């Protein structure tokens, strides 16, 4: 594992050195083959992740040597909004301009001699999966035609490499990524020893539109040695169970929550008006029931309590003001009711056994507060009590296998949202000068907290009043417009892990990560890893063959001052080898 991580670091350094000195080395030092090169090869590849809220460009470098294949990456720029915003455009002008802002920056990351042969993959995810197939293909045609016709587009793009990847593929690529970065497999997905000794890691990914889970279900050790392992010991997606839950990303869940609160408010308003009419026996009894709520709303937006908003925060949705109460426990119950149904509404702490939830009488436990929801007492297991493993609640009519004992890496919004919560709770505690032993203990367990730790921190986070929260230093992974949604997002993460995926309450089996071994944890890396074998078939065909660079071209195209940098880079690269 240590050797693998060292090789990964060497690959990353080589990538930087290539950017510094590649123009000279690429133009001057390629040995031309005696055979014509029909498919010129570049050790670079570009993958554009077309997400729900924006597109990000990644540059990858595949290094071949006598040892394992090493894949290193360099994150490029990001553009907003998401690709799905351009669906329905009449011409390709806007989407081309949007993407060229990424590729203009990519030209600075890849040495010029490699650019023409560097293949580009533009792959959209949940945002585009939510649109119809016809609109997707029309947009992709516009992307391909616009980029390939643009005079400043310097790379190699095929129409087949522009499209939507399935949610299941996105999850599987994420799993390949985490197992490579953790050193369990090499760049060609062969076992480094970690796979056979520890088994594969699972992956959890989340965006605005969807959520993915991929892992190898627990099984007898005898079966684990052979299941899904092809000849040669390479990690195969056949070992994994995985599913992409479209519509279960943070943006989609927030919209469901807000719409539910507004609908419940309007229904309750109509009920109150009908009751008032019956009680007072007024002549207006036959007035249209929908008209009175509209008249009231004209006087000013009604105020509806939102337990999934920060305390004191007001958000406007469908002519209604949602006022945050910062009640994370109530938010959790509400999310479970909306997403999973009444049978999963009670807290996980209220599960006595696998037999089902405890029946709680609202009249005993406390009054109803929002939408008829009752507050429930939090049940903390007694010291030494056996761990409760609860069955997951169904989503998309799919229930994952048992996750107990599985190690996961959680990426993307999982990391961004929870890192923000942990950071800002720490800052809020420091600013207040007040200590909280439970919160302090939970904060100390990042980046591998248990679900119980997450509930503690999320409760403290949503309970910070909105003005105080906005006064804290800006979180590096949270824009101001994203901050207003973070309370519902972190609550949803906790409920998805617990109620949706069945992660045990006290297990510290999920690591929330942005980077491992100085590389970002992203499905795009797994996509490249799965393509290494295809790249290997043409790697003997060097870029220099395609360009047929002459000595005269070298003398005129390479700046003299770059020579010393190229020589220095060669010395450092040799030393690393």
489 and 387 in one domain? yes
Q: Is 212 labelled as part of a ligand binding site?
A: yes
Please write the tens of the pLDDT for every residue from 44-53: 999 999 988 8
DSSP string, 526-560: HHHHHHHHHHHTTTTS-HHHHHT--HHHHHHHS-H
- CA dist 190 and 188 (Å) reads 6
User: How many other C-beta atoms lie within 10 A of the C-beta of residue 58?
Assistant: 22
The beta strand positions in 10-54, using DSSP E, are 44-50
Would you call 548 exposed, middle or buried from its count of C-beta atoms within 10 A (0-12, 13-18, 19+)? Answer: exposed
CB 19 within 8 A of CB 118: no
pLDDT of residue 19: 46
Provide the number of structural domains found in the chain. 2
CB 200 within 8 A of CB 228: no
pLDDT of residue 31: 30
Please write the tens of the pLDDT for every residue from 195-209: 889 999 999 999 999
151 and 254 in one domain? no
Confidence class for position 337, pLDDT limits 50, 70, 90: very high
88: left (phi over 0), alpha (psi -120 to 50) or beta: left
47 and 131 in one domain? yes
Q: What tokens were used for 166?
A: 């399935």
458 and 546 in one domain? no
534 and 462 in one domain? no
Confidence class for position 387, pLDDT limits 50, 70, 90: low
Confidence class for position 386, pLDDT limits 50, 70, 90: low
493 and 463 in one domain? yes
pLDDT of residue 376: 32
533 and 500 in one domain? no
- CA dist 129 and 12 (Å) reads 33
Indicate the SS3 state at residue 143.
Answer: helix
112 and 259 in one domain? no
Is residue 23 a part of any domain in this protein? Answer: no
The structure's pTM equals 0.75
pLDDT of residue 535: 56
Q: Which positions ≥6 away from 375 have C-beta within 8 Å?
A: 329, 330, 365, 366, 367, 369
The beta strand positions in 207-257, using DSSP E, are 210-215, 241-246
256 and 125 in one domain? no
Is residue 97 a part of any domain in this protein? Answer: yes
Is residue 530 a part of any domain in this protein? Answer: yes
Please write the tens of the pLDDT for every residue from 400-449: 999 999 999 999 999 999 999 999 999 999 998 888 899 999 999 999 99
Cα–Cα nearest to 261, from 367, 339, 338, 313: 338
156 and 257 in one domain? no
The beta strand positions in 95-249, using DSSP E, are 119-124, 156-164, 202-206, 210-215, 241-246
Residue 549 has pLDDT above 80, yes or no: no
pLDDT of residue 228: 44
Is residue 405 a part of any domain in this protein? Answer: no
| Average pLDDT score over residue span 454-474 | 95
Q: Which positions ≥6 away from 363 have C-beta within 8 Å?
A: none
**Last residue of one domain, picked from the residues 479, 512, 545:** 512
80: phi then psi, degrees, rounded to nearest 5: -120, 155
Is residue 426 a part of any domain in this protein? Answer: yes
Of 146 and 551, the one with more pLDDT:
146
pLDDT of residue 68: 74
The whole domain housing 540 covers 1-17+38-226+523-553
Is residue 543 a part of any domain in this protein? Answer: yes
Q: Is 209 labelled as part of a ligand binding site?
A: yes
Question: Cis omega (within 30 of 0) on the bond before 81?
Answer: yes
Please write the tens of the pLDDT for every residue from 274-329: 766 776 655 555 555 555 444 444 455 688 999 999 999 999 999 899 999 999 99
Active-site option among 43, 145, 160, 170: 170
Per the annotation, the verdict on 170 as an active-site residue is yes
Is residue 565 a part of any domain in this protein? Answer: no
Is residue 148 a part of any domain in this protein? Answer: yes
Q: Is 315 labelled as part of a ligand binding site?
A: no
**Last residue of one domain, picked from the residues 493, 512, 531:** 512
Q: Which residues pair with 47 in a beta bridge?
A: 58, 121
534 and 500 in one domain? no
Quote the mean pLDDT of the chain: 78
């Amino acid at each position: 594992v240590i050797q693998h991580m060292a090789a990964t670091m060497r690959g990353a350094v080589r990538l930087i050195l290539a950017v510094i000195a590649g123009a000279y080395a690429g133009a001057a030092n390629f040995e031309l083959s005696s055979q014509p090169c029909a498919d010129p090869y570049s050790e670079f590849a570009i993958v554009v992740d077309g997400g729900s809220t924006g597109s990000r460009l990644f540059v990858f470098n595949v290094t071949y040597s006598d040892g394992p294949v090493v894949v290193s990456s360099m994150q490029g720029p990001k553009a907003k909004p998401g690709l799905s915003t351009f669906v329905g455009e009449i011409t390709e002008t806007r989407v081309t301009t949007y993407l060229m802002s990424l590729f203009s920056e990519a030209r600075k990351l890849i040495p010029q001699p490699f650019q023409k042969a560097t293949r580009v993959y533009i792959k959209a995810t949940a945002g585009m999966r939510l649109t119809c197939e016809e609109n997707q293909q029309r947009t992709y045609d516009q992307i391909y035609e616009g980029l390939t016709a643009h005079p400043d587009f310097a790379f190699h793009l095929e129409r087949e490499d522009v499209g939507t990847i399935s949610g299941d593929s996105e999850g599987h690529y994420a799993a390949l990524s985490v197992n490579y970065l953790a050193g369990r497999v090499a760049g060609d997905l062969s076992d480094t020893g970690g796979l056979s000794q520890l088994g594969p890691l699972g992956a959890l990914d989340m965006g605005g539109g969807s959520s993915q889970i991929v892992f190898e279900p627990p099984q007898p050790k005898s079966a684990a040695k052979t299941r899904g392992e092809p000849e040669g010991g390479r990690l195969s997606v056949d070992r994994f169970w995985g599913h992409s839950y479209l519509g279960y990303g943070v943006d989609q869940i927030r919209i469901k929550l807000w719409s539910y609160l507004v609908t419940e408010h309007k229904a309750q308003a109509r009920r109150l008006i009908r009751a008032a009419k019956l009680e007072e026996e007024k002549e207006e009894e036959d007035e249209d029931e929908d008209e009175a709520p509209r008249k009231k709303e004209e006087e000013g937006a009604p105020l509806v309590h939102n337990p999934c908003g920060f305390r004191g925060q007001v958000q406007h949705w469908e002519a209604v003001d949602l006022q945050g109460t910062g009640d994370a426990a109530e938010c959790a119950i509400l999310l479970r009711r909306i997403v999973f149904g009444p049978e999963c509404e009670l807290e996980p702490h209220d599960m006595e056994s696998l037999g089902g939830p405890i029946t709680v009488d609202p009249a005993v436990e406390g009054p109803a507060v929002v939408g008829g929801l009752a507050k429930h007492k939090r049940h903390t297991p007694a010291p030494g009590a056996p761990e409760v493993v609860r069955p997951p609640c169904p989503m998309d009519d799919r229930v994952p296998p048992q996750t107990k004992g599985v190690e996961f890496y959680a990426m993307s919004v999982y990391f961004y949202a929870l890192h923000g919560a942990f950071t800002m709770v720490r800052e809020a505690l420091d600013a207040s000068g007040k200590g909280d032993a439970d919160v302090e203990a939970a904060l100390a367990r990042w980046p591998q907290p248990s679900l119980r730790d997450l509930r503690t921190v999320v409760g403290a986070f949503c309970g910070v009043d909105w003005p105080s929260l906005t006064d804290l230093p800006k979180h590096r992974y949270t824009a101001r417009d994203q901050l207003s949604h973070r309370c519902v997002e972190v609550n949803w993460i906790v409920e998805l892990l617990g109620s949706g995926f069945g992660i045990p309450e006290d297990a510290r089996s999920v690591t929330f990560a942005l980077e491992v071994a100085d590389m970002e944890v992203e499905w795009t890396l797994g996509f490249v890893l799965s393509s290494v074998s295809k790249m290997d078939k043409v790697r003997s065909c060097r870029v220099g063959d395609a360009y047929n660079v002459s000595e005269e071209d070298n003398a005129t195209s390479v700046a003299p001052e770059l020579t010393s940098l190229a020589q220095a880079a060669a010395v450092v690269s040799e030393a690393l080898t």
